[in-house]
Structure 1
Amino acid sequence: MYWGLVVAPPDYQQGDSYRIMFIHVPSAWLSLLSYVLMASFSAAALIWRVKVAEVLARSIAPLGASFTFIALVSGSLWGKPMWGTWWVWDARLTSELILLFLYLGFIALASAFDDPRRAARAAGLLAIVGVVNVPIIHFSVEWWNTLHQGPTVSKLGSPSIALSMLLPLLTMVVALHLYLLAALLQKARCELIARERSSRWVNDLLPGRGVGDELA
């Protein structure tokens, strides 16, 4: 973040306003990646009834929702000086907002049933159906005439961004991917222990718990 917010040079058109890119772009990418992973985990849980896949899908949902929210807020902060408005019903912005609602719907369904397997099935179906929104978000700037700029890093050919800006951006992308992985594993571990709290392996894992605690 220091490299992008302080060391990288100002943009010749946007000045220092572009620096929000180092937060906005990685968050937007991770909002899409998290949803694809959530839908993939949900599909694995529905097809093969893998309990760990249910846990991973439920664990990544709030993380993906957080990245989506950060992408929307940082995009609005960036859009105000560039477009003169906080929000427009642009194809990219609207589809990203729909992605946030899909995350929230998944979280709500996953918490709406006492039976965790039933909750996982209901939320998983929503995640799988909603995955159609991911390519819409990604290709919206190419399919429609929108205010949102086109791809600069991921386009075919060389990226249209200076190396002094690209390197800190890619560093932030790698850092946030590692954060997502660490947070997902930690959250999934807690979720799995909570779901299997009366199992013997959890009793053996947590020192200080006796047979009376397990029966309780």
Structure 2
Amino acid sequence: MNPVVLWFHKLGSPPYFDRFAARWAPWCFGIALLLTAWGVYGALFQVPADYQQGDSARILYIHVPSAWMSLLVYGLMAAYAAIALVWRIKLCEVLAMACAPIGAAFTVITLATGAIWGKPMWGTWWTWDPRLTSELILLFMYIGVMGLNAAIEDRRRAARAAGFLAIVGVVLLPVIRYSVVWWNSLHQGSSVSVFGESRIDPSMLGPLWVMLVATKFWFAGSLLQRARAANLEAESGKAWARAAAGVPQ
């Protein structure tokens, strides 16, 4: 068997995943903190003020990475849920449900920083702009997934029901992504492109890319930590789980 395929098969084993998560979650958090410190320093002290928005544009170094993550985490949650529904992989159910509160947190940060930026730019904290409204609906979808998962006592049935809701909500992602193109929106268009040419000055891009990578590592650490806790709870009746949790035999 291909070594990569074999590794993925092994990762589906609850004891193996527990060891993997315990080892790598602290590294992900550590790298995320270092990159965040680097990115924040660059955003505050190295990047010049925007010629139109002044220093208020600096909040975009938090807003943009959080907005990207709010979509990415939802897509990953739906992918895990689809794999769990098709192949009945228990760990994917755990990972899908672990994504929900992390993605909701990124969405809240996106909406909050957007409101803080919007007040001086638009003169209001909130407007029913297509991008803002669809991002708010995304937050409700995250809350719906978490609520449905908590409402059903049987953990596996709960994960499957909540996972199905997550899959249905994927249709919202392209709406958010292209809302500024499809409708007459106050929200500015995309300024940063991964594969094409970005529309902001190159001197402002460095810290933004650092923050984008930092949020990925923070998400990875959070996902491993939350999934490990849920995995240990689900396997609490087994000796290896009690030993990993430090429970006396």
TM-score (norm 2): 0.82
Deviation digits for residues 183-205 of structure 1 (CA, Å, limit 9, x no counterpart): 11111111100111111221343
Percent of residue pairs bearing the same amino acid type: 56
Q: Is the 8 A contact 2:191 2:198 kept in 1?
A: yes
Q: Which amino acid aligns with 2:108?
A: F
Change (3 A) 1:206 1:156: closer
- Structure 2 residue aligned with 1:25, among 33, 55, 64? 64
Change (3 A) 1:141 1:202: same
1:91-170 alignment runs, 5 A limit: 91-154=130-193, 157-170=196-209
What is the number of equivalent residue pairs in this alignment? 210
CA distance in 2, matches of 1:155, 1:41: 24
Q: Which amino acid aligns with 1:59?
A: A
Q: Any unmatched runs of 5+ in structure 1?
A: 211-216
Q: Which deviates more, 56-65 or 200-209? A: 200-209
CA distance in 2, matches of 1:147, 1:155: 23
Question: Cα RMSD (Å) of the superposition?
Answer: 1.2
Higher fraction of helix: 2
TM-score (norm 1): 0.94
CA distance in 1, matches of 2:248, 2:74: 37
Deviation digits for residues 139-171 of structure 1 (CA, Å, limit 9, x no counterpart): 111111100001111287421111121110010
Q: Which amino acid aligns with 2:83?
A: A
Change (3 A) 1:208 1:71: closer
- Structure 2 residue aligned with 1:199, among 227, 235, 238? 238
Deviation digits for residues 6-40 of structure 1 (CA, Å, limit 9, x no counterpart): 22100000000100000000000000000000101
Q: Any unmatched runs of 5+ in structure 2?
A: 1-39
Q: Which has the higher contact order (CA 8 A, sep 6+)?
A: 2
Change (3 A) 1:156 1:49: closer
Q: Which amino acid aligns with 1:173?
A: L
Please report how far the alpha carbon of residue 133 of structure 1 lies from its aligned counterpart in structure 2 after TM superposition: 0.2
CA distance in 1, matches of 2:245, 2:202: 49
